[in-house]
Amino acid sequence: MRTLVANLFYAHNAAARGVIAIVDVGSMRLAVDTAIPCGLIINELVTNALKHAFHGCNSGCVRVGMQRIDANQLELRVQDDGIGFPATLDPRQVTTLGLDLVYTFAEQLDAEVGLIRDGGTIFCLKFAASG
């Protein structure tokens, strides 16, 4: 996850724009059938943040975190402190391929997806831990 986020930041020239990344995933290991959808979700959400969240801003932060909530459940968060996801948009009704993919991969994980629009945007996915 750290390498994925670093590569996305490099590709989007984020450091030159004053945007930093914080990745807090510890040393968690995931089964392949969990890791792949998580990586694709992170790719889409971080890319969206880097493309849309920091227009007109000279700095910002994107956080990616994963933690074990309990023995049976994980939580993945992708958060930015940018301009925020528009309040008038329902993310499930947006007809962009990226967000459609996020929800498709979330379904593969049988994840509950939450969106918080306070001080930026937070996508929070909760799903069963495998292994």
Mean pLDDT of successive 10-residue stretches along the chain, which has 131 residues: 96 94 89 94 95 88 95 95 78 69 94 92 93 53
Q: E strands within 3-94? A: 19-24, 60-70, 73-80
CATH number for the domain whose boundaries are 2-128: 3.30.565.10
Residue 28, C-beta contacts closer than 8 angstroms, at least 6 positions apart? 66, 68, 74
State residue 90's pLDDT score: 60
